Amino acid sequence: MGTYILRRLILLPITLFCIILVNFIVLNLAPGEPTTRTEISPEGNASRSQSNSQVFTGDDRYLQFREFYGLTLPILFNTWPSTTQESVDLWLWQIVHEKVSPENPEPLAFKDFQNRRVEMGDRARFIMPKLLHVINDPQADPALRKTAVRFFVRGGSPQAFLGPTLTADQKAYNRKIGKENNFLASFLTPEKLEDLPATAAALTTWYQEHYQEYHFEPSGMELVSVFITQTRFYRYMSRVLTLDFGTLRNDSNKTVFNEVTKRFKYSLTLSVIPMWITLFLCVFFGFLMALRQNKPIDYSLNVLFLVLYATPVFVVAPFLIEKVALHHHFPFTDIPIPLGGFTSREEVYGQLTSWGRLWDTMQHIALPLVALLYGSLAAQTRLSRTAVLEVMRQDYVRTAFAKGLPRSTVYVKHIGRNASITIVTSIAASLGAILGGSLIVETLFQIDGFGKFFYDAIVNRDYNVVMFSALAGAFLSLMGYLIADLSYAFLDPRLKLD
């Protein structure tokens, strides 16, 4: 058993790694990068469509955003340092003339042109020597050289650290690169751009001073490390390994982790309570049906649970809201049934005593609980019926009855304990399914839990939240499997899984 658990534990990080990889590829290969819908800044200067900023020197915020998410890097492998001089020349020519190539003077589609510009800006840091070569080439077209200067400046200006918590070192670094960036940006003024020879000379000196510090000319091992580390995936993985899941897209002062933990109590309530209720009810009904096997009550309950099992939650939840809650009261009382939310409004809820708050919450979650409960209850009851029937066929049960043990003892000790192996295992393994089910329920009942958070994140394409949620979902289901295995081993001492 030990080795089995060990294998599970070893598999856990591998699984999580694979899930990150799959999600990451899906997110990054999607048409339009995750930031294309970033017209979000209140100043309105983060939009992508500012045409006057050829290499995004104008819209710093957008660039910062992309740098922060590592979107300026290739996805899995970085082969950019080995870009050839010819392609750099061609791309510069394309960006200047907005045409396909000198041999084929078709106009470049606007989208291609935009993409070329963005990609060139992203690559700039890795092709600095080639850009410098263009700048220093007296035969080249001046327009080309000017554009190369722009990209050179972009590539030579690293981004500052962002975020709510910066160390003193990071702040010092920010100040330093701030100065450097200002120096480089001073070459973008029209006068300096006109005076190409002087600019070229100054940039060459700057390059000579800094190329080792910034690793502009990687070789050998450095090239290999750039190949692997200068990628989106590596950036993200290294952040995840330090349990840094990033911040919300619209608010860099809120970390994803905090936001999720804040909401987790709702989801936890809505997952643990139904689990226990399911456990008790399904054992009860399972026994009832198994003991009355092939009697009318067994048949009718069987069909009932099958119907419940097949009814989708997005039919039941609206039904509960509209037909049960709307304009109705709790039975035998005159308390209206709340339509949504986890508690009453803050003004009301804050005034209540502890008991009052509990009572208030119970009123609010009564219907969501039903919506979450019925499906798993139906599935588990059918399972527990089979489990009980299976155990009742065993010889030792017949023996126990034959030797005259009290019925209750046989039911609890002989049948119950053995049947519970299957039931508990299956309920524990359903831990991961909680997320999927509660997503719809939380969205419909307006409960600000984990599922709704994830749904909103998907609609808004909040990159960090989506990644974290998929990861958390996978982690939960793996934990569920682990708990299921452990409880299996605990309940069934005969078991040897090795």
- Residues interacting with another protein, by CB under 8 A? 11, 14-15, 18-19, 22-23, 26-27, 30-32, 34, 302-303, 306-307, 309-315, 318-319, 321-322, 325-326, 339, 432, 435-436, 439-440, 443, 454-455, 458-459, 461, 466, 469-470, 473-474, 476-478, 481
**Residue whose CB is less far from another protein, 282 or 440:** 440
Q: How far is the CB of 19 from another protein (least distance, A)?
A: 6
**Residue whose CB is less far from another protein, 14 or 402:** 14
**Residue whose CB is less far from another protein, 207 or 236:** 236
Which one, of 93, 28, 21, 92, lies nearest residue 66 by Cα? Answer: 28
Residue 23 and residue 467 in contact, taking contact as beta carbons nearer than 8 Å = yes
Instruction: Determine how many CB atoms are found less than 10 A away from the CB of residue 409.
Output: 12
Q: How far is the CB of 470 from another protein (least distance, A)?
A: 6
**Residue whose CB is less far from another protein, 110 or 299:** 299
**Residue whose CB is less far from another protein, 315 or 402:** 315
Q: How far is the CB of 36 from another protein (least distance, A)?
A: 10
Q: How far is the CB of 338 from another protein (least distance, A)?
A: 12
- As a whole number of Å, the end-to-end CA separation of the chain is 6
336 three-state secondary structure: strand
Give the separation between CA 368 and CA 343, rounded to whole angstroms. 12
Give the separation between CA 485 and CA 3, rounded to whole angstroms. 12
Phi-psi region of 264 (alpha: psi -120 to 50; beta: other; left: phi over 0): alpha
Q: How far is the CB of 202 from another protein (least distance, A)?
A: 45
DSSP 342-381: SSS-HHHHHHS-HHHHHHHHHHHHHHHHHHHHHHHHHHHH
Q: How far is the CB of 7 from another protein (least distance, A)?
A: 9
**Residue whose CB is less far from another protein, 108 or 486:** 486
Residue 42, token pair as written in the block: 């209140």
Residue 353, token pair as written in the block: 């005593």
Phi and psi torsions of 164, nearest 5°: -75, -30
